[in-house]
Structure 1
Amino acid sequence: MLPLALAGLLGQAAAAETETTLNAYAAGYVAGFTCSATFNGGKSPEQIREHELGGIYPLIADRVDNLTAEINREQKWVRVAYDDGQRARISIWRPKLGCVDLPVGASFAQHEHLANPYVSAEPPAADNGQPWQTGNSPLPAEQQSALAAVIDQAFSKHYGAGARTSAVLIATPEHLLAERYLPGFTPETAQRTWSVAKSIGASVIGAAVYQRLLEVDEAAGLENWSHPLDPRGAITLENLLQMASGLDSNVAGNRTDRVYMGGGLVSDTATEAALEVTPGERWKYANNDTMLALRTLRERFATLDDYLRFPFHALLDKIGMQHTYLETDWQGDFILSSQVWTTARDLARLGVLHLNNGEWYDERLLPEDWLTYISTPAPAQPDAGSPGYGAQWWLYNERFPELPNDTIAARGNRGQFLVIIPSHDLVVVRRGYDLAGQPGFNEHDFTRDVLKALATGEQRP
């Protein structure tokens, strides 16, 4: 029998990535973020180096610093060599679908095998500001001044020592009450959502439920789980939406590096996880649960192209989210747990759709009770001290008495936040590049201060 200490070391070694894999991750990270920031976000190499590749988590941070991206602007791809030039990672851009990371060992010559249903799509038009009315702010001067002071704080270190704000937007369904950007950013500058994508993914699922393609209480029914002996066949779509699949997602369910930057597939990772506990018994934040919810939708479609078009035709194009890119793996599964690039205005539009109970200009896109559904606490909840959880949305309910009890939020890495407060008819968006390892932007305190500013003097119209 092995000594306990030696057995522990061998166990750690078995679970850790090799140097070659870490180098591939770093090169994939640089290729993917450079590609997306260039062709989705219109950013310069200097902006990319400062914002996308600076302040990131330490697993690959030092390796990223030593890599150089080759950008082909005509064919819209990025190549990053690593391991002394012996190997390379490649990321390729597609209209509406953004950048896709090819697997280790693949070459650009194989790009014709990628699905591309929008090959002839026109570039997005300039943001027209709809559905909001243009013109002067409807707020009285006293409220405008108070709100401006809070936004000044948002662009400082006031809400977190590691906070680096790139955009703030506060809106009702009728008006943009406030909007401010970091120099060099505009209303059309797309930025990665990280886990805010989960709430976008839930909205896509909501559109599918409205169109009767799915029911939340039915089994996910994935082909990979179809054997009669497979207990994963009991996992429902609702279990996935509520982060209660019961599947093994390792110690940290938010670390899916092989899919996010290793060129891995949803079908090779998320669908292969084994069951740990009974579905619905345990809440555990897991990127795989979101990816599996979208995989459930994919398996309802006859063709991949039909699936790839659905989020745009059923939702995003309808509400004017024209600067939003939903990225996939190289076999066409949406990575809607993180890999979406969008603007502050497009996120606010999604918030307004929910304030309008799923209607947009009198056209219903989501079920009438969808806001209630995603805002209802799941049976299994996160530990005390954290916001509660509904269906791919965080809940600032009675756990946080300084905010209205109906406050919900989409929350993402590096300080991405979309906060919806139905009782105040209000949407609050904050985008950022918060520094890993330092206190990030405190969206609770910021939202609280926004509400206080809007309550200054006269009541908000």
Structure 2
Amino acid sequence: MLGKLGCLGLIVGISLPAAAQETDATVRAMAAGYKAAFTCSATFNGGKTPDQISAQELTGIYPLVAEIVPTLEARVDHKAKRVSVAYGDSLPPRISQWRPHLGCTQLPVGANAGVAANLPTVSLTVPKRNDSAPWKHIPKTYGEADNPKLKALVAKAFHDPKYGKDAFTTALLVASPDEIFIERYIDGYSHRTSQRTWSVAKSVAASVIGAAVQKGMINVKAPAAVASWQSPMDPRRGITLENLLHMASGLDSNVAGNRTDRLYIGGGRVDDTAMRTALEVPPGTRWKYANNDTLLAVRALKDAMADAMADEQAYLEFPFTALLHKIGMLDTVPEVDWGGNFVMSSQVWTTSRDLARLGVLYLQDGVWNGERILPEGWAQYVATPAPVQPVAQRASGRVNPGYG
């Protein structure tokens, strides 16, 4: 999966299956939550302008709320770093609140701005920034490359419709551990422009889990330490962390496992959604794409740390101190729900160079500046298809392991 060159391309696209039936009031609340969340994160994580947000963040919207979102007004409070979107007369506006390091979090439906003071926060000592590390050579100009074929290939990535209808490339970077060969951005973007990673966030989640394994905090072969599953009556207590990483939990994740609307745009928590699903099949016997499995893997780390008497602050600091800041990913923002759970199935904002740094870490088998961040062989472990995962064949005949 990782070759001699680490190649990164950010392509904006959304999978849009049919959504579950919701009441009109809930749909309007979700539409307002969608606009508040995306406007907040794009403004305060990404530094994007209203025009950029309108053109690049509020397009390709879930069909469930697509017709409503454009009719709602987002009010941006730059001083409070808050976005409010009114959607009716009976309840307060939907609110998304930004904090340093943890980005934007939606308040629950019906909550007013006054409760935002209770949201999780984290205080971190940020390492000195070095935008060029770890590379010894970076082109002076975006789009510049010594290799004409590489330059032409990258240029094509921004204009070729083969990436999918209505999809477009916003940033692309090709690098090795020693050199950035080329990077290019659409107008108005730079190597400091953070973007929502969508499901690329799952790779960040797996890396955070790997860092915890390296520190001896968790064991992927052991049952996941989800506190609410620990009753002897609960068969879910047999789900291992590896089952979750493999997307083989056996849990009900709805018809479309990539849709977690109640969490992403409904102001819910991981506790209210992923943790309450029941088994459909025995753990480890079925592969099914599921945001919930990634959410639960990271939640299991939280509960394991709590079992070890670590407080919530230690959990909130962990992705930064154990991984992100270790390798210079200083523009990466993993967002949390209002209960303090990382939403690493989708809500991680980062830059092309930060993702390239993560790629370099894997090319070096988890070692950075002589320090082992990930377990030996972790790169191969996460690149190996799960035993129960069906093997899809591309038109070319090449094996496409996909997730799991």
Using the size of structure 2 for normalisation, the TM-score is 0.89
**Counterpart code for 1:150:** L
Asked if residue 258 in structure 1 is aligned to residue 266 in structure 2, the reply is no
Query: CA 1:125–1:165 in 2, change beyond 3 Å: closer, same or farther?
Result: farther
> Partner residue of 2:73?
68
Confirm or deny that 1:315 pairs with 2:323. yes
- 1:369: Cα distance to partner? 1.2
Question: 1:57-136 to 2 correspondence within 5 Å?
Answer: 57-83=62-88, 86-118=91-123, 128-134=131-137
Instruction: From 42, 55, 75, give the equivalent of 1:37.
Output: 42
Q: Which amino acid aligns with 1:144?
A: N
**More displaced stretch, 183-192 vs 152-161:** 152-161
Q: Which amino acid aligns with 1:286?
A: A
What is the CA distance between 1:113 and its match in structure 2?
1.2
- Give the SS at the match of 2:263: helix
Given candidates 227, 245, 248, the residue that maps to 1:244 is 248
Report how far residue 85 of structure 1 moved: 7.7
Contact residue 366 and residue 373 of structure 2 kept, 8 A: yes
2:225 and 2:301 in contact (8 A); partners too: no
Residues 196 and 410 in structure 1, CA contact (< 8 A), matched pair in contact too: no
Match among 151, 158, 163 for residue 155 of structure 1: 158
Between the aligned partners of 2:138 and 2:201, the Cα distance in structure 1 is 31
CA distance 1:156–1:410, shift in 2 (3 Å)? farther
Contact 2:36 2:85 in 1 (8 A): yes
Contact 2:92-2:112 at 8 Å conserved across structures: no
SS at structure 1 position matched to 2:97 = strand
Provide the secondary structure at the position in 1 that maps to 2:86: strand
Q: Give 1:203 deviation, angstroms.
A: 0.1
Q: Report whether the alignment pairs 1:270 with 2:274.
A: yes
Contact 2:91 2:110 (C-alpha < 8 Å) held by counterparts: no
Cα distance change of structure 1 residues 78 and 125 upon mapping to structure 2, 3 Å threshold: farther
Q: What's the counterpart of residue 14 of structure 2?
A: none
Alignment map for 1:5-404 (pairs within 5 Å): 16-83=21-88, 86-118=91-123, 128-134=131-137, 144-160=147-163, 161-301=165-305, 302-382=310-390, 384-385=392-393, 398-399=398-399
Deviation per CA, 1:334-379: give whole Å up to 9, x if none.
0000000000110010000000000111011000110121122211
Count of aligned pairs:
378
Distance across 1 between alignment mates of 2:149 and 2:28: 48
What amino acid is the match of 2:60?
G
Compute the displacement of 1:83 (Å).
Answer: 2.1
The 1-side partners of 2:135 and 2:49 are apart by 30
Q: CA deviation at 1:55?
A: 2.4
Task: Give, in whole Å, the separation in 1 of the partners of 2:131 and 2:169.
Answer: 24
SS at match of 2:273: helix
User: 1:384 Cα shift?
Assistant: 2.2
User: 1:157 and 1:80 mapped to 2: Cα distance?
Assistant: 36
Unaligned segments of structure 1, at least 5 residues: 1-13, 388-395, 401-407, 412-461
- The root-mean-square deviation of aligned C-alpha atoms, in Å, is 2.4
Instruction: State the TM-score, normalizing by the size of structure 1.
Output: 0.78
DSSP 3-state at the match of 1:275: coil
Alpha-carbon distance in 2 for matches of 1:386, 1:230: 40
Q: Equivalents in 2 of 1:270, 1:228: separation in Å?
A: 20
Structure 2 SS opposite 1:367: coil
In structure 2, the residue corresponding to 1:267 is in which secondary structure? coil
Change over 3 Å in CA distance of 1:22–1:382 after alignment to 2: farther
- Percent identity between the two aligned chains: 53
SS of alignment partner, residue 217 of structure 1: coil
Q: By how many angstroms is 1:162 displaced?
A: 2.2
Unaligned runs of 5+ in 2: 1-18
CA distance in 2, matches of 1:125, 1:115: 25
- Shift in CA distance, 19/217, structure 1 to aligned 2, threshold 3 Å: same
Question: Is the CA contact 1:125–1:322 (under 8 Å) kept in the aligned structure 2?
Answer: no
2:224 & 2:330 partners in 1: Cα distance? 30
1:102-158 Cα distance to aligned partner (Å, 9 max, x none): 00011111112112122x767x97662211113559xxx997111111111110134
Where 2:147 maps in the other structure, the secondary structure is: helix
Which AA in structure 2 matches 1:323?
D
In 2: Cα distance, 1:142 partner to 1:363 partner: 31
Identify the range of structure 1 (151-160 vs 80-89) with the bigger mean alpha-carbon deviation: 80-89
The one-letter amino acid paired with 1:92 is: Q
Give secondary structure in 2 for the equivalent of 1:159.
Answer: helix
